[in-house]
Amino acid sequence: MSESKKKCRPYSVDYLKLGSIPSSSDKQLPMCLLCNKVLGNDAMKASKLQNHLRRRHPDKTDKDLKYFQTLKDKLQKRPTLDRMFASTSQRNDDGLRASYNISLLIAKSGKPHTIGEKLILPAVEEVLKTVLHKPASDIIKRIPSSNNTVERRIDEMSSGIESFLCNYLQTTDFSIQLDESTLPGNVALLLAYVRFIMNQEIYEERHFARTLTTDTKDFESRFEDVLTMVIPPWVNNPYGDIEETNVIIQEKLTELSTNEELKVQFKNGYQQFWLQNNIPVTYPVLWNIAKKFLISFPSSYLVERGFSAATNITGLHKNRPGYHS
């Protein structure tokens, strides 16, 4: 007889007949199916189990094996605390994930954070109830989306993005555009936009929106050089006539115009052309000039969108010169 069979022997049918199975915490100890009490090691003998049954459960002494088998099956199907906890926490995780994703949707929409509680959850509830015929309140309860929660999530997420952006901007050239507007109550709002190159693509991000205590004119004069830049024609068209007085640049442009490999990208526009990976390495002189222009001009679209988000959030829809919705 094998070792394992020997060990299992005390809990064979004979012992089940006496109302006992191996305890789940220690397979060497018997557990009474009637009172769920784990009995000591000395109870391993049939006579001891019989004793327990007779003294503690006198009304069950005449029960047969089938009765205890049913009890055993029921017990094993019963959800354990572990299993119960795992499935609840999985559900809570899902609710938490949904809560973050909804907050992200709200942030991206530029709508006030209060629409989570006011509009989105009631809409979700309606779909669950009417389309899926599910009791909605159970599910809704698991998605923390109160006004305060959404506001906190958006703050958490944006501070993550902001610190990534700040770190990245310290390693690269970027341009910044500032847009100032005044909200009621004489609150001055400053919106800052940055434009930079990352992984061969140009990015524009709203860097920050702050209420101001000082004058923005100071900022504007500091970035005046960016605003008054003149673009050399060869940045827009590196294959056009070279009207360049600088001899080194002239030379490099001639060299560039013979590079057939680079030329392919030019059909996708001058930005795609200059953003090619090997340009900074092969033509650093030209690249250092061209990149300044690539990152210099934030699109008016982003600026307007930022303004519109700020006015939405403050609940203000004011017409503003030069702003078209």
Q: Which residues bind Zn ion (CB under 5 A)?
A: 32, 34-35, 56
Structure tokens at 90: 């999985």
* Residue 190 · residue 210 · CB < 8 Å: yes
Give 8 or 35: the residue with its C-beta nearer to Zn ion. Answer: 35
Of the CA atoms within 13 Å of residue 297, those in its CB half-sphere come to: 10
Q: In the complex, what is the shortest distance from the CB of residue 62 to Zn ion, in angstroms, rounded to a whole number? A: 15
How far CA 73 is from CA of 59, 77, 149, in Å, comes to 21, 6, 44
Tell me the closest approach of the beta carbon of residue 83 to Zn ion, in angstroms.
Answer: 24
Radius of gyration (Cα) for the chain, nearest Å? 36
Nearer residue to Zn ion within complex by CB, 34 or 202: 34
Three state DSSP letters for 20-36 = EEECCCCCCCEEECCCC
Q: Which amino acid would we find at residue 157?
A: M
Minimum distance of Zn ion from residue 90's CB (angstroms)? 34
The nearest distance, CB 158 to Zn ion, in angstroms, is: 59
Using the minimum distance from each CB to Zn ion, give the nearer residue, 55 or 267: 55
Whether the CA torsion 111, 117, 122, 125 is positive or negative: it is positive
CA distances from 63 to 8, 19, 30, 205 (A): 23, 9, 18, 76
Q: How far is the CB of 69 from Zn ion (least distance, A)?
A: 17
Q: Output 32 or 102, the one with its CB closest to Zn ion.
A: 32
Q: Is the sign of the CA dihedral 214, 215, 219, 222 positive or negative?
A: negative
The number of residues making up the chain comes to 325
CB 35, min distance to Zn ion, A:
3
User: What's the maximum distance between 2 C-alpha atoms anywhere in the chain?
Assistant: 111
User: Residue 58 or residue 184: which is nearer to Zn ion going by CB?
Assistant: 58
| Closer CB to Zn ion, 32 or 106, in the complex | 32
Minimal distance, residue 47 CB to Zn ion, in Å: 15
The nearer residue to Zn ion, 68 or 307, going by C-beta atoms, is 68
What's the distance, Cα to Cα, between the start and end of the chain in Å?
Answer: 86
Token pair of 255 as six digits: 């060299």
Q: Which residue is nearest to Zn ion (CB)?
A: 32
Report d(CA 299, CA 67) in Å as an integer. Answer: 78
